[in-house]
Amino acid sequence: MAGDYTVGDLVAEFLAACGVQTVFGIASVHNIPMLDGIGRRNAIRYMMARGEMGGVHMADGYARASGHLGVFFSSTGPGAANAVGGMVEAQFAGSPVLHITGQTATRFVDKGMGTVHDVPDQLAMLGAVSKSVYRIRQANQALGVLTRAAVDALTPPRGPVSVEVPIDIQRTAIERPALLDNFTLPLPPPLPPSEAELDELAARVLAAKRPMLWLGTGAHHAGGAAARLLDLGFGMVSSWKGRGSVSEDHPMNLAGLHGNGMKSVTDFYQTVDLLLVVGARVRGHETGDFSLKLPTNIIQVDIDPMANGRTYASKYFVTGDSKLVLDGLLKRLAGKQHIDPAYPAQFRKLKVDAQAEFKATLGPYGDFADQLRKVLPRDAIWVRDITQNNTTWGNRVFPLYDPTSNIYPVGAGIGQGMQLGIGAAAAAKGRRTIAMVGDGGFFLNVGELWTAVQEKLDIVIVVMNDKGYGVIKRIQDSLQGGRRFFADLQGPDLGQLAGIAGIPFFKVTNGDKFGETVAAALEVHGPCLVEVDMTSVGEFPPYYPFNIRPQG
């Protein structure tokens, strides 16, 4: 009937037209018309999070695992504020998350009149944690604003975008836009480098005899071209978020062992005559606040001109899409690159020796990466929270073969891993999802376990339980004279918790049984919980930078 189609319906139809199949959210007085549109259309799966922060993390995990738009609906005011933490992480990770929130009626907005959920300048709050923010100010601009927001989120450098839809506008009856027929998002084409830049880049690369790549998130889609460079004799490392762009079983790929705290790797860097950084920030978190000594001849490729000189100084910079740049470079290198004949064998040996050296520092957890890789399917999605196990073997030596398999809190916040895993599992389409979390992070958002239960998601949640904040204890040992204040946790028995949730439970008390226990959990359909009792397996040993002995 005429007049039955509202802006709330448009939001629902727009998302479906963009190819969105699953969204996450919290129902609220200020978003019911939009959720009603989703429910009545029944074209999109709506997953009910237990809290806004968890829901945004789910949308983020979905975006990373699917490579497409992750969508989250929040309430207004306090609800939108609760989503801020998840938006911060999506910003760190460069995830295309579309956060759609309500707003009080337009006649009350920003007037401080005390309406329900009214907060001063909600748009400014969201602007601090979003790539861009928009408010739909009248019904006839809704489709244009939503389109702009989705394009912003998906255009490199990608990031989270927030849209406010005031409640009265959601309810406004409009004529259905004919543009939604055969709708396609007007995404810009990849940014090409100039021919002159490519010529100069090739000349500099051809002068190198011992070149390396450092790949980041911005090179996820350039893995094929990067692999061809490795076959020519280039070595390679990745940022932790950039891992998997080239399969990590390639002998010339050091993966996440980019050298911080490892003398064998940093010494090797001094023999490298060119480091080509592609789509990577070379972050302080991964370089010891830039104390890591990289090769001095650095060339950087990035879609964002502001990346030039942001961390390490570069000798040359190319602005452009990473795949287009590397493809253009390869055409110019054909048959002309002359690598030091000894270099490839030396690099392959470095990889074998560095991995063995690193695993030897992990005590009873030294073979956990190998045990887990042996039982996981090759295409499994590997999600982690910030734990001692992830900071060490999870980020550095567990082999990954695809960038969508690599999901963890880039901003280093705890309590995010399980929700990222729930979102990833929602996007998995038959792939297995495993989420490794610490007990501290797990208890922080334990209520979201019931989201996985309600949605019957295939996810194995592994809780590395050392009964405290292990990472914090290491910092206290190193910097506070071993005074471990406020780092021990009391929590529920995980087996009993799994029983309350009605999901299978497995427990590891012997480190040698880690892999086979996870293998048994993988046979379960639906969510299940695996506890690794670290007090039984053994204390996690100090790791870099906490294992450095004072000089003198």
Q: How many helices (H) and strands (E) does the chain have?
A: 23, 17
pLDDT in tens, 55-76: 999 999 999 999 999 999 999 9
pLDDT band at 1 (very low <50, low <70, confident <90, very high): very low
CA distances, 501 to each of 1, 25, 370, 448 (Å): 44, 21, 31, 11
pLDDT in the model for residue 467: 92
pLDDT in the model for residue 116: 60
- Could you give the number of structural domains in the chain? 3
Please report whether residue 546 resides in a domain: no
15 & 163 share domain: yes
- What is the mean predicted confidence (pLDDT) over 270-280? 97
pLDDT band at 442 (very low <50, low <70, confident <90, very high): very high
327 & 398 share domain: no
pLDDT band at 552 (very low <50, low <70, confident <90, very high): very low
CATH of the domain at 229: 3.40.50.1220
Mean pLDDT of the chain: 94
Do 198 and 325 touch, CB atoms closer than 8 A?
Answer: yes
pLDDT band at 118 (very low <50, low <70, confident <90, very high): confident
pLDDT in the model for residue 549: 64
224 & 346 share domain: yes
382 & 527 share domain: yes
Burial of 482 (0-12, 13-18, 19+ CB in 10 A): exposed
Contacts of 280 (CB under 8 A, 6+ apart): 214, 215, 216, 217, 218, 219, 238, 239, 242, 302
CATH of the domain at 388: 3.40.50.970
Please report whether residue 542 resides in a domain: no
Q: Pick from 330, 354, 378: which residue ends a domain? A: 354
pLDDT in the model for residue 2: 46
pLDDT in tens, 497-514: 999 999 999 999 999 999
pLDDT band at 119 (very low <50, low <70, confident <90, very high): confident
pLDDT in the model for residue 374: 98
Least confident of 161-170, 328-337, 486-495, 540-549: 540-549
pLDDT in tens, 83-114: 999 999 999 999 999 999 988 878 767 767 56
Domain residue limits at 231 = 195-354
pLDDT over 70 for what percent of the chain? 97
256 & 175 share domain: no
pLDDT band at 117 (very low <50, low <70, confident <90, very high): low
DSSP assignment of 176-226: PPGGGTT----PPPP-PPPHHHHHHHHHHHHT-SSEEEEE-GGGGGGHHHH
Least confident of 287-291, 344-348, 364-368: 287-291
- What is the mean predicted confidence (pLDDT) over 226-249? 97
Q: Is 20 helix (H, G, I), strand (E, B) or coil?
A: coil
pLDDT in the model for residue 256: 95
Does the pLDDT of residue 551 top 60, yes or no? no
pLDDT in tens, 238-273: 999 999 999 999 999 999 999 888 999 999 999 999
Please report whether residue 543 resides in a domain: no
